[in-house]
Structure 1
Amino acid sequence: MTKSEQTRQLVADVALRMFREIGFAKTTMRAIAGEAGISVGNAYYYFASKDDLVHELYLQVQAEHAAKAAEELHDSGDLSARLKTVLHAGLDVMAPYHRFGADFVATAIRPTSPVNPFAAGSTTAREASLSIFRAAVDGAKPAAPKKLRADLPELLWLYYMGITLFWVYDTSEGQQRTRRLVDGSVPLITRGLSLARIPGVGKILDDVLSLSRSVRS
């Protein structure tokens, strides 16, 4: 790692630590620079704004989520169990940042934000997250219905986005309401997916998939 890369990583590490310890609003670029022992101008050289640092957090969280999910997933297991494992792993790695979750949403919700999860600038982090759900689907036994398999990881990722939004505003101790939502909704989803094998219902799911593809293209 070059000296420049080391300095960039130092700025990112200091910023993320300060986000966790004092919150997003109280963390300024000047304070980050001071903690890192560099000039404010140097800090801005690596990250143009706090939005860019939130993007760095987004990337780090996805990497930690992928590592934790891979460690906890096993080769066998039905989709319900694997999906719960993936979702709880995501909640685990996000937990230290809950105190500024609303700030993150306020930053990410802007269409032009570099951390908007649907924006081109978030492609790397989004693909990292999608790969987690692909692994959950691909390793499930019995396998997910064939007609759904290609679309399912992205649909589950969208569901995870909804879970994340619920988690942001969950004020229960340890965000246990979100945990209950995961444990209660995952079986409903997987039971619904099993209906794809029923001819009449399968046609309805075909229409749902067609609509989903049209709005994602």
Structure 2
Amino acid sequence: MGDRGTDTRQKLVDTALRLFRDEGFQATTMRRIAQEAGVSLGNAYYYFAGKDELVHELYLVVQRDHRERTLPLLRDGGSLAENFGTVLHSGLDAMSPYHGFGSSFLQSALPVASRSSPFSAESTDARDMAITLMRDVLASSRQKIPPSLDNQLPMLLWLIYLGVTLHWVTDSSAGQTRTHALVDSIAPVVGKAVQLARLPVARSLISDIAELTTRFTTTERTTP
């Protein structure tokens, strides 16, 4: 893709994200995005098959911002509770401009089989970035985890982050202060749970939970 094509694609992304923020996800159409970006509708569809593909661009934009906000704030050798709280609060801050259309967007993003779902194959890049960030949180914290949980625990932390995000979407308090308060309560609990993971019984329980959540949050897409 040449410079002109790259510029057009980025203009469509920027326009779509602005319209999602200002007018809502459901109200924003591909035709409206094309008009605002100053390109033909056919050209818009050349770059993006529909709004779902633009949602994945949103995931990437938010995740890059989330990572940039979080990494300088992680305390090397700090407690997991502190660093996990940091990554959760930073995630909420990165998402804050998009809170207005969150509830309407959930209708299309919640089903696991939806292309807009954070669990979909189309969301792989953003999901991998998010799980890698959780791995960085664990690596920077003094609470070390058993090697057997190296792959499972970052996934579980990301799932907790998704749960916090779901609460944030429906949080009508000013600045979503209730969700930030929830983070302050959850982070210490997670820190204590990971400490217990050094014990064989707790380690096995966490492993079982990780396997169950992986099984029930992934699905093979079938075409009708």
Residue 212 in structure 1 maps to residue 178 in structure 2: no
Q: How far 1:145 moved relative to its partner?
A: 4.8
In structure 2, do the counterparts of structure 1 residues 150 and 53 end up closer, same or farther at CA, with 3 Å as the change threshold?
closer
Q: RMSD over aligned Cα, in angstroms? A: 1.8
Q: How far off is 1:168 after superposition?
A: 0.6
Judging changes above 3 Å, is the alpha-carbon distance between structure 1 residues 168 and 214 closer, same or farther for their aligned structure 2 residues?
closer
- 2:29 matches 1:53: no
- Runs of at least 4 residues off by over 3 Å: 144-150
1:98 corresponding residue in structure 2: 99
Aligned to 2:43: 42
Query: Aligned runs of 1:161-176 on 2, under 5 Å?
Result: 161-176=162-177
Q: What residue in structure 2 maps to residue 135 of structure 1?
A: 136
Moved more, 207-216 or 77-86: 207-216
Q: Distance in 1 between matches of 2:209 and 2:148?
A: 15
Q: Which residue of 2 aligns with 1:15?
A: 16
Deviation at 1:205, TM superposition (A): 3.3
- Offset at residue 216 of structure 1 (A): 2.4
Q: Deviations over 1:104-141 (max 9, x none)?
A: 22121233422211111111110000011000001101
1:193 aligns with 2:194: yes
* Aligned-partner residue type, residue 3 of structure 2: T
Identical-residue share of aligned pairs (%) = 45
Change beyond 3 A, Cα 1:121–1:205:
same
CA distance in 1, matches of 2:212, 2:180: 32
C-alpha deviation, 1:211, in angstroms = 4.7
The one-letter amino acid paired with 2:208 is S
CA contact (8 A) 1:137 1:149 kept: no
Q: 1:203–1:112: structure 2 CA closer, same or farther, 3 Å change rule?
A: closer
* Residues 136 and 179 (structure 1), Cα distance of their counterparts in 2 relative to 1, 3 Å cut: same
- Higher relative contact order structure (alpha carbons within 8 Å, sequence separation ≥ 6): 2
Aligned length: 214
Unaligned runs of 5+ in 1: none
The CA deviation string for residues 92-113 of structure 1, in whole angstroms up to 9 with x for no partner, is 0100000111122212123342
Q: Which runs of 5+ in 2 are unaligned?
A: 216-224
Distance apart, 1:18 and its partner CA:
1.4
1:119 matched residue in structure 2: 120
Moved more, 51-60 or 141-150: 141-150
Q: Secondary structure at the match of 1:197?
A: coil
Q: What is the deviation of 1:214?
A: 5.5
What is the TM-score of this pair, normalised by structure 2? 0.88
**2:79–2:191 contact (8 Å) kept in structure 1:** no
2:74 is equivalent to residue 73 of structure 1:
yes
